[in-house]
Structure 1
Amino acid sequence: MSAAAIMLVCSHCTELPTEVGEHVIYHWDDSEARLCGGTVPTVDRFLEAVGGYYGWSPDDLGPGVEYFWDEELALSACSWLGASGCESRVLVRPHVFSKHPVDTHELAHATRGGHGRPALRYPAFINEAFASRWGSSVIEINVPFLTWPEFLSTAELRAALEVNDATKLDYGLAFTWWVALETTYGPAQMADFILELDGATTADDVERATRRVFDISLAESAALAESLPEAAIDDPVCEFEGLPTFTWTGPPLVLEHSDAHCDDRDIVNMGPHRGSWMFALEFSDTWTPFYVTLTLPPGVEPFGQTIFLEGCAGELEFADRLPYVASVGAGGPSGTSRWPWHLRGRYVGHLVSFIDPDGAVVLPRVAFERVRDDADRPTQP
């Protein structure tokens, strides 16, 4: 989208409230939503996590992202894509329009690797590969991408790299190709690859970059992608430092954050009426089964209070290791997982609940109790 088109769409943008973070200038429609205190800091942390993964310092992130959380603006600005969010550039500053308070896919587009900063130019297939790789299911409500067990032929990959229209691409295949390269060669060489790709517009340009950085052809890169099992990669939140961390030491592990409020700097919007709190959990290095029980304080209506966990394995994890999700039962203030959760190592996740009119966010208390036999199954109150 051109600068003139964005300014036309955004004729009333200056009327929106603004909060300035370290790397983002954030605007939102306060007639529709209450901005929680941790939302802008989380966008900053996300941008730093992407850059830090590839070894770029905060000074390399470039000018701040203008982020507009406004459904009407997103529909207008992104109508050419038929999408709920999009990223574009006005002069030197990337702009993101989204109906989501934190749109990690579009924010990834606005980073150095996603063609946003500096103004790097990549084929659409690579733009979407990078942005899909950095989509988060912990920061926002998303289904994690999985690699595809079947990939493109060399001819099909070359054709995909020539496509200029992102709406005609399969993001899952683009994600698979990027993950194949990243898991084979690591973030340092991927950072070199990102810079080597600057100005690439054709499949031949991309092949020159794969040969210079990885010493492989496009055909060999397609074979790497073809060899991947159906698997998931770590959520971007695994790269976050300083998350509140809870470690299982034998007794039941209790996860609790009482008296949470939307204004708190650790509560992040997951929409206009829902807030979340992110954390990390650490278990032993061997698979251990746990029953997971969610409980609400007396008098709190059970409605949408949920825990979500993603593993931080540091490597590909097979697709049968799906995210763990549990919610408070609709019939009462408590709910216990029907089947044990088998957990090992480090996880990141969130608790989510609705934001009350006064800003309170009543999060569930979660207990992880090791399973020894069927008699140990917790009973619901």
Structure 2
Amino acid sequence: MPLFPPASCSRLVVKIGSALLVDADGQVRRVWLEQVAAAIARRHAEGQQLAIVSSGAIALGARRLKLPKGGRASLEDAQAAAATGQIALSQVWAEVLHAQGLTAAQMLVTLGDLEDRRRYLNAAATLDRLLNLRVVPILNENDSVATEEIRFGDNDRLAARVAQAAGAQGVVLLSDVDGLYDRNPAQPGAQHIPRIERIDGAIEAMADGGSASGMGSGGMVSKIAAARIANGAGAHLAIASGTADQPLSAEARHSLFVAERTAPARKAWLAGGLTARGKLHVDAGAAAALGQGRSLLAAGVTRIEGSFARGDLIVIVGADGKPLARGLSEYAAEDAANILGRRNEEQAELLGYAPRSALVHRNHMALL
């Protein structure tokens, strides 16, 4: 039985890591990719719509440009490798899908495309139209223009964000590992974790940040971060090994992160945001109120970090330092600091204008 069968998952996002698509010599693993394309075609024939998040551009470009360290010696090398390799990556995907009677489309996105609400909605509309046209979108981060400060940095989190934008019910991260283990799987006695109902501190402690192949940019840490984003949007996420033949068709061993519920689209977007401009630290009373679905009032805020404007995404942090929620600030950082810890009736005099009902309104907030 395949992962996320079409009958129960009308839309699926599949992420393919560099180590699976490109061999140690920087060549495309064409035979393996043709098998994946055949599996995609079978799923399409059964009515499932698929989007692919494909790594490999930097690895392919680095070989063609003869760059050291797989094109990752510097940001400039990575950008040049990405620009060169993306053409080759798109071409090979178009060829293998065309051989199966499918049409491919390329979408290159940056972090800003999915963090800015308007651009996010534009990307979501494009994805929706392509999928409804029975096209297979091939997505990748636009590494030729991204910098360290404005990039996803790994395609695991990108895949989860794409699933959110596409309204997908499932995400499969095909990798060189077959799931989450209670410790580094290279260590003796490591136990495979087949199902994760809730991502907590114990699950996060099992992660290893390294990329085993040396070609990728993320390890298990990025995959758990991706699972948080996908689950927050109501999509289940599986980490599965892509080293087996036809990994989407075989009953490959995997770890499944189970989504508890489907969040409203706007709140799912807020919860999955990666580029918060600041933090609001709150006391125990405010934390309890948030848990009851209430707005965040200035009276419960103990400390402010960052420089943000009204409408910017911020993180609300509890007394223990753990994030509680993400939301859009109703005030710029300077005004927020002026009313820190003050009750509503005191705020008008401090601000010089009528205060808003909350520092972060519940309608513009997503609990984590």
TM-score (norm 1): 0.26
* Higher share of residues assigned helix: 2
TM-score (norm 2): 0.27
